[in-house]
Amino acid sequence: MPKQVIIPAGETSGSFSLSVSDNKLSDGMRKVNITAGASGLVTGIKPLTVMDNEVAGYRITYADQISDQIRPLRVTVTAVDIGGVTVPDFAGSVNLKALLAGGGSSSLSPASVRLVSGVWSGLVTFPASAPMITGLTATGAQGTRVDIKEFSSMRVLKQAAADLCWDPLRGRIYASVPASAGGAYANKIVAIDPLTSKITGSLAVNQDPGQMVITSGGENLYVQLKESGSVAKIDLSGMELAMTFPMGNHTHGFPLRLNDMCTVAGRPDLLVAAWKSGGVAVYENGVPRPLKMDTGSYCDTIEPSSDPDLFFGYDSSVSSSASVLIRLGVEGVERAGVSYDLIGMYAKGFRSSGNQTFASNGVVVDGIGLKRMGTIPTEGPVCPDSGIGRAFYLEPEDGYSGIYQVISAYDTRTFRHIQRLTLPHSFSAASGFIRWGAHGLAVSTGDRVMLLNSPGFVASEAPADLVTSLRVNPNPGQVGKTVTYTGTITNAGPNVAKAAYVRAGLSGVPVIQAASSSVGQLDFSGTSAFFDFGDLAVGATFTFQLQAKPSTVENVACVVMAGSNSVDADSANNFAVK
């Protein structure tokens, strides 16, 4: 660009040429100002944006929340510069590969796509025989490569199951196949490889197997035998039936029947059992210890705590809705505390994680202190995991139908809603709702087993603390005037926040008119915006701005939530509202 421009006499403007040198480096988009001034005249300033034509990587986005690997998945591949901005004049071929949950990669179709104007969008299909796929990679001719872009994947095994149980030591899921299922696996316990959704072994136990629990070290699997009300103990080292044992007899002579059970951490030969009649006993190698909680103890459902000698009980069959703290000792079990009406009557599900209990009606209780902590605003089968700070609920379509197609994640500390995942298929039965692996959920839907793998939904990477702040200018806003919302997300550590993202939304009438961000660009539509900005280093920040123009006098709020694939050390500061 010339340092001076001559404007001929009698003219009001002069022209000049401007050229930009291509340095072959990934510089990213740059904004500069061109300033013109002369003595006695007002200085003029004109902004100019210089776009980078070097591709630093490829951004992959998916049209669907989840892939079942059966139907084609719509994918968009975009060439981006170092700042995450699309390189509009790029044209070239990019190779695609599918990433496997167990490691490695697989081919897909098409294996190569051609980007035009920096973008390709189309359908990809996966091999029918491929194990569970977790995402895609895109590699250019010069080896330019995107960071792994993961998605939620789901596989379905056509096998009826009464209950499911995860074995972390062997990386497999056990399913109890009821007598009514018929076929080759009826009355058996089957082992399932969740990555391939194939049955790898089985053991006949007969007597209509139901609920299962596994010992903390993976030594034994205890199985409810519904036909007789007794228990089978399986030695998992060889997948062999070690013994079966009854619950014993009531003082009035009739046989006791198992309703629920828990193993004892570190003691694989102990089983704490709750009877259908409401009592509790502990069995050592099938023999009950003398101290028992008799029938009428308001406890037909039992869950473990973080203390191997304490258990949580609940009676789902009576209107008393008692919550019971149970203590295990050398002589047996005894009631250590009881509180009424904490959960409410007839909750259909009762699960624990750590020292919290989660009921199917959303009520969360401090099981040790026997105090209600709060209520999650939903209902349905629940699978809590306090270790990653999330409770997962299968939510019925209308609250009453019992038709499920949505899984929601809620924060176990703040009880806020985090994320919702819509499944490709609906189902009307749900049992054995469990966690498996680092990012997995599984549930039996009656005649089949659904296996879900979702790194973003089931966040379990090393902990990071995302801190969200929000500013509004002007505040309060005025009708017909632009209001700017500026959000900042900071990673307070101690680890990189993997695959970080931010969601923002406006309440009320105004729609988002413009959006910008410190990396790439926000995707926005109507009153909501979303940005997936990748890994965020410790101490690093991500900022964005949204602009809206209120058209009526009303209270308008902007709600911002940040998240990532990492466990969040303090989820309360992930949210900001102005």
Q: Average pLDDT in the 5-15 region? A: 76
Least confident span in 55-69, 140-154, 310-324, 562-576: 140-154
Burial of 543: CB neighbours in 10 Å, binned 0-12, 13-18, 19+: middle
For residue 8, the model assigns a pLDDT of 78
Indicate whether 371 and 474 sit together in one domain.
no
Is the distance from CB of 382 to CB of 410 less than 8 angstroms?
no
pLDDT of 25? 47
* Residue 80 belongs to a domain: yes
Q: Tell whether the model's pLDDT for residue 98 goes beyond 50.
A: yes
Q: What is the pLDDT of residue 47?
A: 75
Closest CA to 363 of 18, 529, 354, 352: 352
Q: What are phi and psi of 310, to 5 degrees?
A: -125, 140
- The verdict on 373 and 477 lying in the same domain is no
| Domain-ending residue, one of 360, 377, 394 | 377
- Per-residue pLDDT at 46: 77
Residue 552 lies in a domain: yes
**How many domains does the chain fold into?**
3
pLDDT of residue 128: 83
pLDDT above 90: percentage of residues in the chain: 51
Q: Which of 322, 346, 377 is the last residue of a domain?
A: 377
The residue that leads in pLDDT, 50 or 215, is 215
- Tens of pLDDT, residue by residue over 34-89, are 787 777 777 777 777 665 557 878 888 888 888 888 889 999 998 887 767 788 88
Average pLDDT for residues 250-271, to the nearest whole number?
Answer: 91
Closest by CA to 577, choosing from 475, 483, 468, 478, is 468
Looking at every residue in the chain, the average pLDDT score rounds to 87
Whose CA is closest to 260, among 275, 282, 277, 244? 275
The structure tokens 């920040």 sit at 541
**Over the Cα atoms of the chain, what is R_g?**
30
Q: Model-level pTM?
A: 0.83
Instruction: Identify the three-state secondary structure at position 573.
Output: helix
Does the structure show a pLDDT above 90 at 426? Answer: no
Checking if the pLDDT of 32 tops 50, the result is yes
Residue 533 pLDDT level (bands cut at 50, 70, 90): confident
Question: What's the confidence (pLDDT) of residue 340?
Answer: 85
- Quickly tell me which residue has 């895109």 as its tokens: 138
Q: What are the DSSP E strand ranges found in 7-111?
A: 30-36, 44-50, 57-62, 66-67, 73-80, 92-100, 105-106
Closest Cα partner for 491 from 446, 461, 448, 516? 461
At position 281, the amino acid (one-letter code) is A
Domain containing 140 — which CATH number? 2.60.40.10
Q: How confident is the model at residue 321 (pLDDT cuts 50, 70, 90)?
A: confident
- My answer on whether 373 and 466 are in the same domain is no
Percentages helix, strand, coil for the chain, rounded to the nearest 5?
A: 0, 55, 45
In the listed set 153, 179, 195, which residue is the last one of a domain according to the structure? 153
Sheet holding 280-284, edge to edge: 258-264, 267-275, 280-284, 287-288
Q: Domain of residue 511: give its range.
A: 462-577
Asked whether residue 517 carries a pLDDT value surpassing 80, the answer given is: yes
Report the C-alpha dihedral over residues 216, 222, 224, 228, rounded to 10 degrees. -150
Task: Among 78-92, 179-193, 332-346, name the one with the lowest average pLDDT.
Answer: 78-92
**215 Ramachandran zone, left/alpha/beta (phi>0; psi -120 to 50):** beta
154 and 68 Cβ atoms separated by less than 8 Å: yes
* Model pLDDT, residue 503: 86
322-331, 420-429, 555-564 — which is least confidently predicted?
555-564
**Phi-psi label, residue 372: left if phi above 0, alpha if psi -120 to 50, beta otherwise:** beta
In a domain, 18, yes or no: no
- The answer to the question of residue 439 being in a domain is no
With a cut of 60, say whether residue 345 has pLDDT above it: yes
Q: State the CATH number of the domain containing residue 260.
A: 2.130.10.10
Is 258 inside any structural domain?
yes
Q: Give the pLDDT confidence of 546-567 residue by residue, as tens digits.
A: 888 877 766 778 888 888 888 8
- ∠ at Cα 347 (343, 352), nearest 5°? 70
CATH code, domain carrying 523: 2.60.40.1510
> Are 258 and 372 in the same domain?
yes
Instruction: Tell me which residue of 418, 419, 470 sits closest to 576, measured CA to CA.
Output: 470
Lowest mean pLDDT across 126-135, 490-499, 549-558: 549-558
Residues 363 and 469 in one domain: no
Confidence of residue 396 (pLDDT cuts 50, 70, 90): confident
